[in-house]
Structure 1
Amino acid sequence: MGSARRTNPWASLSALCVGFFLIMMDTTIVNVALPRMMAELDAGLHQITWVNSAYLLTFAAPLLVAGRLGDRWGRKPVFLGGMAVFTAASLWCGWCDSVEMLIAARALQGVGAAVMMPQPMAFITTLFPARRRGAALGVWGSVAGAATTVGPLLGGFLADGPGWPWIFLVNVPIGLLGLAMTGFLVPGVRPRGGRRFDLAGTLLSALGLLALVFGVHNGEYYGWGRVLGPVGIAHIIGVGVLLLGVFVVWQRYNDREPLMPLTLFGNRDFGAATVTAAAIGFSLTGLYLPLTLLLQEVLELAPRQAGALMLPIAVANSVAGPVAGALSDRIGGRRVVMTGLLVFAAGIGAIAVSAGPETDPWLVAAALAVCGIGTGAAFAPMANVAVGGLSPELVGAASGVYNAVRQVAGVLGSAAVSVSLQAWPADGASQHGMASAVGATLLLLVVVLFVGSAACLAMEPRPRPAESFDAPRKAAAV
């Protein structure tokens, strides 16, 4: 810890945010370039969709394990290793000349992202004292919101300009900068020795999440029917749920080194924050497809115009995040998170009820600014609530669980939105029919956000110090 005290924590946070920005941006930057990739790589629709699926699958599946890797081997070397893998895979992606090679490179990119993802959140709990942690997590949260929104805009400009490979090649200099900044600015805290590794839990959780995410993300493509021989999407999802159920039982009886200590959920703040994280992950990821259809198919805007119109959500998120994080340090996270979720729901609701061919694009931009304020206000305090009352020994596991839940919820949101748009009984070929489908789908996201805001009622009204939650000795030894 001594090195952490001698280090400027804000400088360390800036280094961590570089890598975090990259991995979050790459969840959305590829979508706008898929048609170009399909044409230039002579790929079919199914093949090209795997460029995204491979990244999402290998990003989500190892997250629980990644949270523990930082505890076992040290958060700095694990973060650096993940960033090195991600940067090298980005270079590989940019040089690919076949869709098969690109899918493999994207899968490797996802592994690097998963290794990096839980470390900044755990780092912040050691770099910042409790009274300043909310502001730091506010900056971290605003980076996540801005990155996912900037992705489609930057991807559109790069695909239309120098070409789709630059969507990946642009990561390389940024990744190298992030590696240098992390090496110089982030302290290396010695990992706790004598630690075991939950191999059975690792296999059960990784395979369970892999099957669940695969089934949900690809269900639409296979018509929710057979995938290979007698094996169908329902079987794959069922196996995933079964494996995750066995994983939870194993965590209950593994008293040596549980990957996910169930005592985490004895802290009501962590449980409630995890539910709200799922709600906002579901809604934020699910927002972009109907929004894109509204802007390009209904309002007939060009891709660059549609991308530019999404800027307000990124700007508003970046401004609101740090402010909300600092405010949560003073008044507690419950009210700030709940307000943020309701504001986000109000922004989506405004777009939903006004969706139509005559909708003023500036009205959509204003509503997206409201959405950005809501996501910024909710995201950072939500993370602070999740880990703020936990003992340091549980922070790595908690960060892995929290991020895994949010990521899987995002995949579920993307799938649910796609199904909703197709199931809506309207003439999708007409602008009015498409607008009706978009409006109904966005209202689904509003409902999910209301559920998330209701979960905030279980949070403590005021922030609690970590010492107030003493996990049992067996869990603390993890």
Structure 2
Amino acid sequence: MGTTPRTRASRRALWAFALAAFCVQLDAFALTFALPTIGRDLGAGQQSAALVVSGYLLTCGSLMIAGGRLADAYGRRPVFAAGVALFGAASLLCGLSTSLPVLLAGRVGQGVGAALLMPAGLALVSERHPAADRARATGRALGIAGLGTVLGPLVGGAVTDTAGWRWVFLGGLGVVAAALLLTAGLGDAGRPAARQRSGVRGPVLAAGAVGAVALYADRAPEWGWTAPAPVLVLACGFGLAGVFAAGERRTKRPVLDPRLWREHRYLLAVALGAVANAAAVRWLVAAPALLQHTWGLTAGTAGLALAVPVLAFAAGGPLAGRLATGRPAVPPLAVATVAGGAAALALALPLGWAPLAVVLPVGGLALGAANALALIAAQRAAPDELAGEASGIAKTAITVAGGLGA
């Protein structure tokens, strides 16, 4: 696949993934300012309404390993298309929901769809582009997805105030439909890699372990770090992880291919990506709060002030593609992670307007580039037949780390 020339199909694959990933990222952050309204409309308290966000992120993060594995075993295009279709159907359910349980069910459905389409889509873009063009193609797609990340709170707040929070979900259905149509026109690049297909036990245990640990990290600050309920959740997570690890050692068809764990470049890319995404989420949370609470700007004025940093974050994807073309991706990833992390930490300092005008766009560009470079480096270090699984593991670590940075 690495020698296939760039064609209309490769461009369709890029745009299909970019549009779908944009919706996934947008919906991850679009309800930040809508939770009080959702709670009032559905008769739920603030804590219950917050599950609308955490339920989506936890489901998505915990199932991406399984999604990547399915993409390698059954084909990137069909798994990606199934994920996009499920995400769209779940978005419609969210938009039409009249009770909190229905909305939560829809958000979990969105999380499952995202867990399928994200690793499958990354692998799809990779397999449909020649090796020399993969980094740039992935960077472009992730740059568009990055717009969804940074625009999520602003768009969600504006839509909630004007049309109502349900249109946060309904308004994106056209974009999801476009991604699905682009996918339908791709055809098949070939048969899935000849790998033994594992059963469901391993993926279920892995998802349960990741989900339990992520749930503890997400809810323990509110419940209490040593309260019985979160400690029990954490213990269950470690227990499931132990059972999973024991099963992986015995089976001839491990869920996590040993070749990935022996590849140091892959492990380093995942680790740096996790740090970068935690810093990115902290930057996304701290920047609006700083402008509104410390500087006293209105939400609209703060949004305008963040326009340049937002564009810089999105430009980080294409920049990452250029930096990684024809050269190793890990060194620029390390530099971007350090620069972006420093910018995120600097937002806790009493900065004046002049340094803030530098820190915000530089931080946005560095963190956007770091997030894209991490996925580019992870895919490059993995064998082609493991592209989906490699993306799934990387996205799981990056997503969970992002939750810790919130």
Q: TM-score if structure 2 supplies the norm length?
A: 0.93
Q: Does the alignment pair 1:370 with 2:366?
A: no
* 1:134 and 1:380 in contact (8 A); partners too: no
Match of 1:245 among 242, 264, 267: 242
- The reply to whether residue 291 of structure 1 matches residue 287 of structure 2 is yes
* Counterpart in the other structure of 1:400: 392
Q: How many matched pairs?
A: 405
Fraction of identical pairs, as percent = 31
Distance 1:211 1:411 in 2: 13
- The farther-off stretch of 344-353 and 101-110 is 344-353
* Residue 380, structure 1, aligned to residue 381, structure 2: no
Instruction: Report deviation, 1:63.
Output: 1.0
1:304 to 297, 300, 306: 300
Distance 1:104 1:225, change over 3 A: farther
* Counterpart for residue 106 of structure 1: 107
Tell me what 1:35 maps to.
36
Once the two structures are TM-superposed, the CA of residue 75 in structure 1 deviates from its matched residue by 1.1
Return the structure number with greater relative CO, CA threshold 8 A, min gap 6: 2
Distance in 2 (CA, whole Å) between partners of 1:110 and 1:165 is 17
Q: Which amino acid aligns with 2:148?
A: A
Distance 1:340 1:194, change over 3 A: closer
Q: Structure 1, residues 127-177: CA drift from partner, whole Å, max 9, x if none?
A: 222222211121133233222101011111101111111111112111111
Deviations 1:343-402 (A, max 9, x none): 2134324433334xxx43x75354221112102332333222212132222222211111
Partner of residue 150, structure 1? 151
Q: Which residue of 2 aligns with 1:336?
A: 332
Q: Say whether the 8 Å CA contact 2:22–2:146 is kept in structure 1.
A: no
Q: Which residue of 2 aligns with 1:410?
A: 402
**Alignment partner, residue 163 of structure 1:** 164
Contact kept? 1:347, 1:371, Cα under 8 Å: yes
2:381 and 2:400 mapped to 1: Cα distance? 24
Q: CA RMSD in A?
A: 2.2
Work out whether residues 310 and 365 of structure 1, in 8 Å CA contact, stay in contact via their aligned partners in 2.
no
Distance in 1 between the 2:145 and 2:373 partners? 13
**CA contact 1:3–1:187 (8 Å) conserved in 2:** no
User: Structure 1: 5+ residue runs without aligned partners?
Assistant: 415-478
Q: How far did 1:20 drift?
A: 0.9
Opposite residue 251 of structure 1, the aligned amino acid is E
* Counterpart for residue 321 of structure 2: 325
Are the counterparts in 2 of residues 296 and 303 from structure 1 also a CA contact under 8 Å? yes
Shift of 1:109: 1.2
SS at match of 1:50: helix
2:37 alignment partner, SS class: helix
Query: What is the Cα deviation at residue 95 of structure 1?
Result: 1.2
- In structure 1, what is the Cα distance between the partners aligned to 2:136 and 2:173? 29
Distance in 2 of aligned mates of 1:157 and 1:409: 28
The aligned residue for residue 72 of structure 1 is 73
Is contact 2:65-2:396 (8 Å) kept?
yes
In the TM superposition, 1:124-135 aligns within 5 A as: 124-135=125-136
Is 1:55 the counterpart of 2:51 in the alignment?
no
Instruction: Rate the CA distance shift 1:338–1:109 in 2: closer, same or farther, 3 A.
Output: same
1:164-207 per-residue CA deviation (whole Å, 9 max, x = no partner) reads 11111112111111111111146443224573223221121011
Mean alpha-carbon deviation: is it higher for 375-384 or for 33-42?
A: 375-384
What is the deviation of 1:2?
Answer: 11
Distance 1:200 1:66 in 2: 14
Alignment of 1:11-22 (within 5 A): 11-22=12-23
Q: Which moved more, 1:73-82 or 1:320-329?
A: 320-329
Task: Give the 3 Å change call, closer, same or farther, for CA 244–312 of structure 1 in structure 2.
Answer: farther
Q: Structure 1 residues 195, 4: closer, same or farther in 2, change over 3 A?
A: farther
Counterpart residue identity of residue 260, structure 2: L
1:241/1:307 CA distance change after superposition, 3 Å: farther
> In 1, distance between residues paired with 2:347 and 2:18?
31
Does structure 2 conserve the Cα–Cα contact (< 8 Å) formed by 1:317 and 1:373? Answer: yes
Work out the CA distance in 2 between the residues paired with 1:402 and 1:351: 27
Q: Which has the larger radius of gyration?
A: 1
Cα distance change on mapping 1:363 and 1:97 into 2, 3 Å: farther
- 1:436-455 equivalences in 2 (<5 Å): none
SS of 2:30's equivalent in the other structure is: coil
Q: Secondary structure of the residue that 2:255 maps to in structure 1?
A: coil
Local SS of the residue matching 1:30: coil
Contact kept? 2:54, 2:218, Cα under 8 Å = yes
After TM superposition, the score normalised by the length of structure 1 is 0.79
Question: Partner amino acid for 1:401?
Answer: I
Question: Are the equivalent residues in 1 in contact too, given 2:278–2:403 (CA < 8 A)?
Answer: yes
Residue of structure 2 equivalent to 1:453: none
